[in-house]
Amino acid sequence: MPKSDINKAGWEQSDFPILCETCLGDNAFVRMSKQEFGRSCGTCARPFTVFRWNPGSGMRFKTTVICQTCAKIKNVCQTCLLDLEYGLPTQVRDTALAVGNAAPTSEINREYYAQNMEAKLEGNKSLLDTSRASSAAKDMLKQLARTDPYYKRNRPHICSFYAKGECKRGDECPYRHEIPVDNELSRQNIQDRYHGRNDPVAQKIMSTHAASMGLTPPEDPTITSLFLTNLPANATEQSIRTRVLTSLPAVQPAQLKSVVHVTKTRCAFINFKDRTSAELAAQAWANGLDIDGESVNVKWGRSKNAVAK
Ligand SMILES: [Zn+2]
Ligand SMILES: [Zn+2]
Ligand SMILES: [Zn+2]
């Protein structure tokens, strides 16, 4: 961190953190300790005002890990990095809303980007606009949302010595004496969670949801097609193709092999080059896909063998 004040131009000062209800805790008299430029932001690397507090009795102290600008850009909590409206990982929210990832990944550009975005922010308003989201996307987020505070998340971490049978502190131990279940959250890095990529928790939420909506990936791994029915009468191959791609910012256009539109029966096969893209589409379209304001049904394609039989 630079010592001279001249370099502080892009540094961030704030009076109160941007937090979700869970991280804030149920303690009405929460006291925040505040440290200006206490550390560098976990995503943009600029120094920011760090807050630390106890979210409730028997809970562990919590601290902010990203700056307010980064939190506002993505509308997430400064501590847990979950979406403030739906309590979901950004990867789940952005997949549902078809929001692409515009933030640069190199460190220098990241700082520059955050500074530029800061200038565009007004008050506490986030740059994320969900008002134009399709109804299928809104349904999906509503179904997946965790809107009630979940204070269990603030409990102390599990005692690593206890798990090995080596903790001698007994009741005095500030950590939880439980055998850990394999916790994917602990292996995640801040960058990935913030930008919504390679997030195993998000993956699990989305694949479970897709399955619950009847879109379990078929066992035959060669199936890379999805089948759309109930298309609007005026849909064309081109309009379907365009809509498919805008709804899947994480899928490269080159991975969409073909769109086969059957006008007579108002259905279409969406053929991807790879299984990963097809699975991503199934997850993103778990609640259907809106084309020209109409909700289209989505199913997995069938294997060639099954069709031949
Ligand atoms: Zn930041
Ligand atoms: Zn939080
Ligand atoms: Zn212990």
Ligand nearest to the CA of 39: 1
DSSP calls for 201-231: HHHHHHHHHHHHTT-PPPS-TT--EEEEES-
Strands of the sheet containing 47-53, edge to edge, are 33-40, 47-53, 62-63
- Residue 204 falls inside a structural domain: no
- Do residue 143 and residue 221 come from a single domain? no
- Residue 53 falls inside a structural domain: yes
Q: What one-letter code names the amino acid at 81?
A: L
CATH of the domain at 298: 3.30.70.330
Neighbours of ion ligand 2 (CB under 5 A): 20, 23, 77, 79-80
Rounded to the nearest angstrom, the distance between the alpha carbon of 47 and the centre of ligand 1 is: 8
- Do residue 53 and residue 93 come from a single domain? yes
Tell me 60's DSSP state.
P
Rounded to the nearest angstrom, the distance between the alpha carbon of 243 and the centre of ligand 1 is: 33
- Residue 139 falls inside a structural domain: yes
* Residue 257: exposure state from Cβ atoms within 10 A (0-12, 13-18, ≥19): middle
Ligand nearest to the CA of 81: 2
- Residue 49 falls inside a structural domain: yes
- Do residue 105 and residue 219 come from a single domain? no
> Where in the sequence is the domain holding 280, given as residue range(s)?
213-308
- Do residue 193 and residue 251 come from a single domain? no
Please tell me the predicted confidence (pLDDT) of residue 4.
Answer: 43
Q: What one-letter code names the amino acid at 309?
A: K
Name the residue among 243, 270, 305, 262 with its Cα closest to residue 98: 243
- Do residue 217 and residue 142 come from a single domain? no
- Do residue 143 and residue 235 come from a single domain? no
CA distance 44 to 113: 8
- Do residue 99 and residue 239 come from a single domain? no
Rounded to the nearest angstrom, the distance between the alpha carbon of 190 and the centre of ligand 2 is: 13
- Do residue 25 and residue 127 come from a single domain? yes
- Do residue 191 and residue 264 come from a single domain? no
Domain count, the chain: 2
pLDDT in tens, the chain (309 residues): 444 454 555 667 778 899 999 999 987 788 899 999 889 999 999 999 999 999 998 889 999 999 999 999 999 999 999 999 999 999 999 999 988 776 666 777 788 788 877 777 766 566 677 777 888 999 999 999 987 888 888 888 888 888 888 999 988 998 988 877 655 455 668 888 999 888 888 999 999 999 999 999 999 999 999 999 999 999 999 999 999 999 999 899 999 999 999 999 999 999 999 999 999 999 999 999 999 888 899 999 987 765 544
- Do residue 10 and residue 138 come from a single domain? yes
Rounded to the nearest angstrom, the distance between the alpha carbon of 189 and the centre of ligand 1 is: 15
- Do residue 192 and residue 218 come from a single domain? no
CA angle 53, 89, 110 (to 5 degrees): 80
- Do residue 273 and residue 225 come from a single domain? yes
Last residue of a domain, one of 197, 226, 258: 197
| Cβ burial 182-211 (10 Å sphere, 16+ → b, else e) | eeeeeebeeebbbbbeebebbbebbbebbe
CA distance 120 to 73: 10
- Residue 208 falls inside a structural domain: no
- Residue 206 falls inside a structural domain: no
Last residue of a domain, one of 197, 228, 260: 197
* Beta-carbon count within 10 A of 58 CB: 12
